[in-house]
Amino acid sequence: MSPAADRAPRFTIGVSLKMYFTHAQTIEWSRAVGELAERHPAVRSGLVELFVVPSFPALVPVRDALAGAPVRLGAQDLASADSGAFTGEVSGVELAEIGCTLAEIGHAERRRLFFEDDAVVAAKTAAALRNGITPLLCVGEIEQTPPAVAALEVTSQIDSALADAQAAGLTGPLLVAYEPVWAIGAPEPAASEHIVAVARAVDEHLAALPSHAGSRVIYGGSAGPGLLTDLGGDVAGLFLGRFAHDVAAVETILDEALALDEAVPA
């Protein structure tokens, strides 16, 4: 395989820890993931771009625990404003300052539990791009529908999320996490055929946005070991949750990426 400097990542694999771990567990898990990234050929070669998204209090300790490992650091949220009297919020300015290069925006749980609407998502997407942070934009249909219908809903959500950014002339790539709401927390992910069809439509939509060149779509929603293989290399990666709490599962998925690259070159 080519060295990392000679290739763009074929796959992006990330994990959000949500609020499952204690502070100590988060740091221990992150240290283990950093060690995995440093030794695994899928990451070392540049085939896979790996990222982790811990809780806010753990961001700096996790950054230090990763200690230069090839793992991007992301936040689970960010404020729409860059400074001011916003108690409890964390700005994109501060996140960029401590080394975050990703910020999760628009997750279904934020919409459902904290009443974040399209306007909030658009403001936060603009805030991320304004501060050089890649929006990890979560999109997905609420009810199970045919892929063509789901794709129309998802691309509409992407356009809505970009409204403020485009009005302000902000540019930069997106990392779109396609997470059908009906699949989040389910025993199984969406069917592979459904995922591939929707991801392909989203890829085509993103390719038509020159201000956001370099964007890609990955799949989340009960994603875990075995899914990358089932997708046959036709989706650019996975956004993992509870199925990645065991670092061995992350290693299994990196092994899958390696096997896919060897069997079906991009």
Return the active site residues: 107, 179
Q: How far apart are CA 121 and CA 164, in angstroms?
A: 9
Cβ atoms within 10 Å of 49's Cβ, excluding its own: 22
The answer for residues whose C-beta is within 8 angstroms of residue 191's C-beta and 6 or more apart is none
Residue of 55, 53, 66 lying closest to 14 (CA atoms): 53
Tokens of residue 91, six digits: 């700005």
User: What DSSP state is assigned to residue 264?
Assistant: S
For 229, list phi and psi in degrees, rounded to 5. Answer: -65, -45
The strand ranges marked E within 17-93 are: 48-53, 71-75
